[in-house]
A and B are shown apart, each in its own frame.
Chain A
Amino acid sequence: MRSLRLGSWIFHHRLSSAESLSKVLSKPFASIMIWFLIGIALAFPIGGGLLFKNVATLTNKVTYHPSLTVFLDEGVSEEKGRQITEVITKFDDIEDVEFLTADAALIELGNEIGFQDLLFELETNPIPATLFLTLDSHLSFKDTEELRFKLLAIPEVFNVIVDHAWLERLKAFLAIGYKIVLLITISLGLASVFVISNMVRMAIESRREEIVVIKLVGGSNAFIRRPFLYIGLWYGFGGGILASIQLALAEFFLSSQIRFLFVSYEIDFVFASLGAIEAVNIAILGGLLGIIGAWGAAIRHVPLIEP
């Protein structure tokens, strides 16, 4: 008996989903509008996310000429400092290492910032022995970070400062960009849910008579809601598929140009792109948004229709 019930329950779901799909397809114009809207609502944040992912990998790949300053621990002797200089000179990518004793570093700093007099007033030298590194090649951000850690691993090294202010600025900019994309994502997601909710509400209104009849013969609110949830599912799912298509098209047209740009700058770069699994996930995400929207409408409006 139980399995019979389950079988018929599954059957009713199949029936509801098929009927709802044919209802959605029977209004092609409205449905295509909704699919486009949801498609854009999904494609925008996902596209934005992909773009940021690409920019983030790019910042690791773009090479530049960083200057590194290595501060040694306080009290490291000049002898030891010169030994370390020897070691570092043998590192890859290092063209030149300039060693400054603590006193020399203080003078250098004084010259640079113009407070010589003030600095000489100090009783103890606050500046440790310092090494200025010149690199012989352009390094990527990631390579530079690796070099930094390698230097930090030397016991006498107190700190390593990499001058990449522009990169820091770019990262700050990216962080803001992420937040903006997130905000727009939430807005568009809510808009999609709202639009689907509204479509389902209208579908419920237009089938008021039918709902009354079903209630007269003992249909529960849950039973009546079912096909409307499927309508939401199909709107959302279709929108998700369209989003995947939009993203694939955008990628197709953009990536070749971007690649061309990078090749001209001799940057080896693989565009992070949308795979089949992501496309399926986007469609599922769209379907979920659709069900949420439909649920919101059905839970409120189906009980209001009374025989």
Chain B
Amino acid sequence: MIKLEHVVKRYSGERDALKRVSLVIDKSEMVFVTGHSGAGKSTLLRLIMILERPTRGRIAVNDIDLKFIGSKEIAEYRRQIGMIFQDHRLLFDRSVLDNVLLPLTILGTDRREAHRRARAALDKVHLLRRERAMPLELSAGEQQRVGIARAVVTRPSILLADEPTGNLDPDLSREVMLLFDEFNRAGVTVVVVSHNLSLISQLDHRIIFLKEGSLI
């Protein structure tokens, strides 16, 4: 469960990126977050990921108040969340398989088991035959799918995706959204940021609208 209470985020400057946002996303729920550019969608995910700290208000994830997670515990906290970035954030000097193995290496998963799970995750995004490829040999869509495989390989309880279909054609975008839907059906809490309203309205999930930092 993700719970925000009167969350305000002000970077520098006068305007608040988020203005007293209160919101509950239930365990095993899937929601879409949409809104114009600059509405605060990425900020919302960054706060949940503790990439930023709120200026005011309270955020709790799985009943843990994030303000009690100190800098030493952040790494461990992040391991229970899978995050997918619009710009993929892959390691370009490592193979596709090694990229997907990374979170398992961090967890200290047994090597054979890690390989098995990384391959299974790659298979899920239809990239198993490219496991030896380097990320730059892949198309944008394929890179995005490597990012998804990396995010789900540890079977996190929460999945956050920031504009995951930004670079994908409509067919692929739909396929990716269905993939998230499938993870959700397996019990994962999923938060997907997207401004592709026509795409997300095809799926039967709650849609959160953000406008200039406020919920509407």
Query: Which A residues have a C-beta under 8 Å from some C-beta of B?
Result: 4-5, 7-9, 11-12, 15, 210, 212-221, 223, 303, 306-307
Contact = CB atoms under 8 A, between A and B. Distances in A.
A307 B108 contact: no
A4 B90 contact: no
Nearest to A15: B105
Nearest to A210: B91
Contact of B150 (A4, A7, A9, A217): A217
B147 to A, nearest CB: 10
B78 A8 contact: no
B156 to A, nearest CB: 9
Given A12-B105, A12-B108, A213 B91 contact: yes
Contacts of B114: 8
Interface residues of B, number: 26
Interface string B104-145: 011111110110000000000000000000000000000000
A301 to B, nearest CB: 15
A217 B151 CA distance: 8
B213 interface: no
- In this complex, the member of A4, A5, A216, A217 whose beta carbon has the largest number of chain B beta carbons within 10 angstroms is A217
Contact of B83 (A5, A9, A216): A216
Contact of B89 (A8, A15, A213): A213
Interface SS of chain A: helix
B110 A7 contact: yes
A164 to B, nearest CB: 65
Given A216-B83, A217-B103, A221-B75, A8 B51 contact: no
A218 B75 contact: yes
A228 to B, nearest CB: 16
Interface centre among A8, A214, A215, A218 (most CB of B within 10 A): A218
A214 B106 contact: yes
B79 interface: yes
Contact of B111 (A7, A218, A219, A221): A7
Contact of B108 (A5, A212, A221, A306): A5
B102 interface: yes
B163 to A, nearest CB: 16
Given A219-B75, A307-B51, A214 B108 contact: no
B85 to A, nearest CB: 8
Contacts of B150: 217
